[in-house]
């Protein structure tokens, strides 16, 4: 049981503020199987919660109206021995966990896991930036070279895992021409990064069962780690695919669950049809993930929380990693946002080096944040 008796009895929520902060990826992100160009800009709602004169920052979509209802709440009513954050306050769970880390001078990973590593925490990750940046090219060979260059940019930044978007034939190209290019790019990236890196593919539901089989056969030489969102979750189709892969000794994991996942997806995973669940870390929340991970572990199902488009999720995922049994890799979407110092984190040899600074280990420029609140945010 967790004990929060160390929290001062007079500590209450004094203020909640929110701004939408904006920054940029290191390069423009192209299309995927179902969406157009994602662009270079990234943004997210950053909330600051102040309790007892101490502030915590974190991602939150809470509305001003809902925030007003939380003002004055005692700190001891917020935190739960059973699930860290009481249900009423889960909309601001990220800034609250950051606050708790600041108040106790502990990292979030120490809070959640109950232990402190002897050396800096190192968390496996993968580069998620390999989109359809090649649609303007008529030559498959030129497309392969471009994506190889992008993969090597990640490799030179320290990544040793890569997720490649596939499904060009679903909308943006002719079906078979796009599928042929998918295959060429996957095999080309394997050639570029070498045999020791993890490579996965994500079709964003742009394939059907037979296309999935075709692509898996044609990329067998590249030894994929997983195929993500091959098609919308369907237990009959996944059962067929699992049996087909077993017959051909294709050891590729099936991962799914981001976005509008089918309601029985966890049950299907427990039946052996899906190897890892990918509910988004921010939207699903840390509290729910901690509960789900315990259930998944009973049947050996892995966790691979979704994080694309989530600058903040890079760092939150790394902090949560030790507390979630079966967490495979952090999905890393590289970007920079003015006013947020991320220099405590680094990528080395496929691992995130996590800082020992309290909370989530991010330093937010308070003066910059307050200026943003005045100009475009809100405060209660």
Sequential pLDDT tens for the chain (380 residues): 588 988 999 999 999 999 999 999 999 999 999 999 999 999 999 999 999 999 999 999 999 999 999 999 999 999 999 999 999 999 999 999 999 999 999 999 999 999 888 899 999 999 999 999 999 999 999 999 999 999 999 999 999 999 999 999 999 999 999 999 999 999 999 999 999 999 999 999 999 999 999 999 999 999 999 999 999 999 999 999 999 999 999 999 999 999 889 999 999 999 999 999 999 999 999 999 999 999 999 999 999 999 987 799 999 999 999 999 999 999 999 999 999 999 999 999 999 999 999 999 999 999 999 999 999 999 99
E runs forming strands in the chain: 13-29, 39-51, 54-59, 79-80, 84-85, 122-130, 161-165, 198-202, 226-228, 253-256, 276-277, 302-303, 330-332, 335-336, 340-341, 346-348, 351-353, 363-364, 378-379
Name the residue among 234, 315, 231 with its Cα closest to residue 273: 234
| CA 143 to each of CA 1, 134, 348: distance values in angstroms, whole numbers, following the listed order | 55, 5, 28
Domains of the chain: 13-106+365-379 (3.30.390.10), 122-363 (3.20.20.120)
Instruction: Pull the structure tokens for residue 54.
Output: 């101490």
Name the residue among 281, 257, 260 with its Cα closest to residue 59: 281
Any alpha helices (H) in 160-277, and if so which ranges?
Answer: 175-193, 209-218, 235-247, 265-270
Q: Return the half-sphere exposure (C-beta side, CA atoms, 13 A cut-off) of residue 272.
A: 6
**Rg of the chain over CA atoms, in angstroms?**
21
Are 247 and 197 in contact by the 8 Å Cβ rule? The answer is no
Q: Return the half-sphere exposure (C-beta side, CA atoms, 13 A cut-off) of residue 37.
A: 9
Determine the angle formed by the axes of helices 286-298 and 311-320, rounding to 10 degrees: 50
Distance CA 281, CA 285 (A): 5
Distance CA 86, CA 63 (A): 18
Name the residue among 127, 129, 203 with its Cα closest to residue 169: 203
Are 377 and 17 in contact by the 8 Å Cβ rule? The answer is yes
Name the residue among 27, 35, 229 with its Cα closest to residue 147: 27
Instruction: Pull the structure tokens for residue 348.
Output: 């080395």
The residues facing 18 across adjacent strands are: 47, 378
Model confidence, pTM: 0.96
pLDDT of 2: 84
């Amino acid at each position: 049981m967790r004990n929060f008796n160390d929290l001062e009895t007079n500590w209450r929520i004094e203020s909640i503020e929110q701004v939408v902060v904006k920054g940029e990826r290191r390069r423009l992100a192209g299309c995927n199987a179902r969406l157009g160009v994602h662009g270079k800009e990234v943004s997210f709602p950053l909330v600051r919660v102040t309790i007892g004169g101490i502030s915590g920052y974190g991602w939150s979509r809470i509305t001003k109206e809902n925030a007003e209802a939380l003002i004055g709440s005692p700190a001891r009513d917020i935190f739960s021995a059973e699930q860290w954050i009481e249900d009423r306050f889960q909309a601001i769970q990220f800034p609250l966990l950051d606050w708790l880390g600041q108040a106790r001078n502990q990292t979030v990973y120490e809070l959640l896991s109950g232990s402190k590593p002897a050396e800096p925490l190192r968390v496996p990750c993968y580069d998620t930036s390999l989109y359809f940046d090649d649609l303007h090219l008529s030559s498959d060979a030129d497309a392969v070279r471009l994506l190889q260059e992008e993969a090597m940019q990640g490799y030179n930044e320290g990544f040793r895992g890569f997720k490649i978007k596939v499904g060009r034939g679903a909308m943006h190209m002719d079906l078979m021409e796009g599928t042929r290019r998918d295959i060429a790019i996957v095999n080309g990236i394997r050639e570029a990064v070498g045999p020791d890196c993890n490579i996965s593919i994500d079709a964003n539901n742009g394939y059907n069962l037979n296309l999935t089989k075709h692509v898996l056969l044609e990329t067998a030489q590249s030894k994929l780690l997983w195929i993500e969102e091959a098609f919308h979750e369907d237990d009959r189709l996944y059962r067929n695919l699992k049996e087909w892969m077993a017959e051909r000794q294709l050891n590729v994991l099936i991962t799914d669950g981001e976005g509008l996942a089918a309601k029985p997806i966890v049950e299907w995973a427990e039946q052996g049809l899906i190897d890892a669940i990918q509910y988004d870390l921010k939207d699903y929340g840390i509290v729910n993930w901690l509960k789900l991970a315990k259930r998944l572990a009973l049947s050996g199902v892995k966790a691979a929380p979704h994080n694309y488009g989530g600058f903040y999720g890079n760092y939150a995922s790394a902090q949560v990693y030790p507390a979630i049994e079966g967490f495979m890799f952090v999905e890393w979407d590289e970007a920079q946002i003015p006013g947020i110092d991320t220099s405590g984190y680094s990528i080395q040899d496929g691992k995130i080096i996590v800082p020992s600074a309290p909370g989530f280990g991010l330093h937010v420029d308070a003066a910059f944040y307050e200026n943003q609140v005045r100009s475009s945010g809100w405060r209660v």
